[in-house]
Structure formats: C-alpha cells, structure tokens
Structure 1
Amino acid sequence: MALSSEIRDRVFAAADALYAEDPTGFPTVEAVRAAARTSMGAAVEGLRAWRERQRQQVQRPVELPLPSALAVVLEQAGRTLWTAAREDAERALRAAQEAFVAEKAELLQVSEQQSEAFDQQAEALAVAQEQCRALQEALATQQEGYTATEEALREEIERLTDTTREQREQIARLEGQLETLAAENAKLLNLLGGKLDAVAEPST
C-alpha cells in the first residue's frame, strides 16, 4: 500500500517522538497509529519504512585500527568512544529485533483473534440456519395438519348439510302425509255424522 507523503510524515514524526521518549525499543504499531491518528494499515506500512530508516542509520560499525600518529591518550579516548558507540548501536539493533518480534507476535495474536471471531460467527450462522430449517419444517408440518383438519371439517359440513336437507325433505313428506290424513279424517267424520243423523231420524 503506497502512503501519501502527508501520512508518511505523520507516522515518521509520531515514531520519532515516541522513540525519543523511550529509546530502549522501537515504538509499537498501536502507539504510532494512535499518535499519528491514522489507520492500522497506514501505521504498519509507515512504521516499517521508519524502522528500515533507523536500521540504515544504525549500522554495525567496523572496528578500524587507529592511526599510529595519534597519541596514546587520544587513542584510548577514541577507542572508548568507539566502543561506546558500537555498544549503543548493538543495543539499538537488539531493541529493533525485539520490537520486530513483539510486533510479529502481536500481529499473530490479532490474526488468531480474527480467526476465532470468524469461526464463532460461522458457527452462529450455522446454528441460525439450522433453526430456520427446523422452523420451516415445523411450519410445513403444521400447515399439513391445518389442511387435513380443514378438509375433514369441510367433509363434515357437507355431510351435515346433506343430512339436514334429507331431514327437511322427510319432515316435508310427513307434513304432507299428516295433511292428507287430516283431510281423510275430516271426510270420515262428516260421513259418520251423516250416518248417525240418518239412524236417528226414524226413531223420531
């Protein structure tokens, strides 16, 4: 990822400030990101370039023999300064290596956390999908039950309707028969009354 000069300068400035505060080790990506107020990707890319610059500045010195013309005192003083500078450079190099190892471990930890989070989300999605399938199957079964019940009720209603119609027709027939019987009874009563009157007249 190519960084703009403005973001690169911000990352370098933040790294320089943090390293000045604690020169025992290179600053972490998170600290640089927070100080530079940039994204994690920009902080990683910028800090990598900054560390490369630091490593180029801190090269392991090669010990050279002092000129023979120098005095013993100057030679001892020079060697002392040379050794101190070399030790400082070695410490800086070790600090850079330790910071690199720490950063690598941190990135690995973040990667593992992201992987675990992804696995958890995938597992939750699988559970949700299984629950959805179970609900769909239960709904389909319930719908089948409703359909069967509806069909049975429709058949029962049709049967009761047919029975009611037959009963009404039977009642109508019985009412017709009763009317016929009533008419015949009336005729018989009139006829019987006429005969009784005929029998009563000779005796008078």
Structure 2
Amino acid sequence: MPMSKDAETPVARYRDAARTRESILRAGQKLFAEQGYPTTGIRDVAAAASVNSALIQRYFGSKEGLLRATLEDLLKVDAITAGDRTQFGKRAVSILLAAGAVPNPVAIMALAMSDASARKLCIDLLHHNVIIPMSEWLGGNDALARAARLNTIWTGFITARYLLPVEPLNDDRIASTRQWLERVTQAIADEN
C-alpha cells in the first residue's frame, strides 16, 4: 500500500467500480464506432479506458458482453418517446441530428456486421430495444411495421449524414431535409 508524505501512514486506494465500468463502456463505444467490433481488441479498450484488461472480463464477461452493454446503453427510445406526441417528429429528428456528437449505435452495428455472433446480437438488440418498445409506444394498427419503417428511415438518415456523408445533408443545407424528416416521422407516428 502506498505511504503518505510522512511515510508512516498508509494511503488507502479506493476502487470506484461504477466509474471504472463507465470508463470501459465509453471506451468500448468510441472504439467500436470508430474502428469496428471485429478489429477492436480487449487490450485496445483497456488502454483507452486506462484500466487493466482483466477488468473488462470482470465487468462485462467478454468482448461480446461489452458490445452488448455498449449498445444497450445507446439503444433507448425513451428520449424520443417522452413528451408531447404531437411534437414527436421534431423531437426525434433533433435527437438524430445530435447522433454525430455521441458514439453512434448505427456505426457500431454497421461495423460489427462481419462478425456472425455480433451481427446476431445487434439484430436482437435492435429488435428488443428499439422496434418493440417503439411499436408499443406507437400503438394502433400495424405498430410493429410502423416502428420498422421509422427505424429504416432514421438508419438511412444517420448513415447518409454521418457514416457515408452526403454533401446536401451537411449543416448548411440540412433545413429542407430536416423538415421533410420531421413530417415523415410524425406522419408514421400518427397513422392508425
């Protein structure tokens, strides 16, 4: 145990498990979104989080467990569905436009597709964490298909804006596309 300045009193080191787990989670999200799941190693994540690689096993069980945790943390529809239903389109698009500022779950999933078990995990999480909760919130006729349509439109937008950037979707030219996306999103939510 390290000693204090007077060399007689031991200085206790306290482990902050929640902070360590959070640091690993954020490092995993960043690396999986930038480099891809197949090419990111446990040691890469540990180095980015400034922790021992054994802690990834301790907190997440495996690299796949870390992938699951990173996506579960990002794939949440609560922020989109909370609030006035008549403002759903505007709220959803505002969140989509902020997707470049946080680790992007679409990027993580797209870059994980070459690994068969990661692909299955991504599909399952997308279905259970986005499609089903969104369909329950939408309600009405054909809610599951409507949730899938929203996911398709949003995934395409995120891909064209952040992953394979299309020039007309840059910040200077986004206004008309934003309005269109807000209208389409709201129209799908309003279907019954």
- Work out which of the two has the higher radius of gyration on C-alpha atoms and give 1 or 2: 1
TM-score in terms of structure 2 length:
0.28
- Counting helix residues as a fraction of each chain, which structure ranks higher? 1
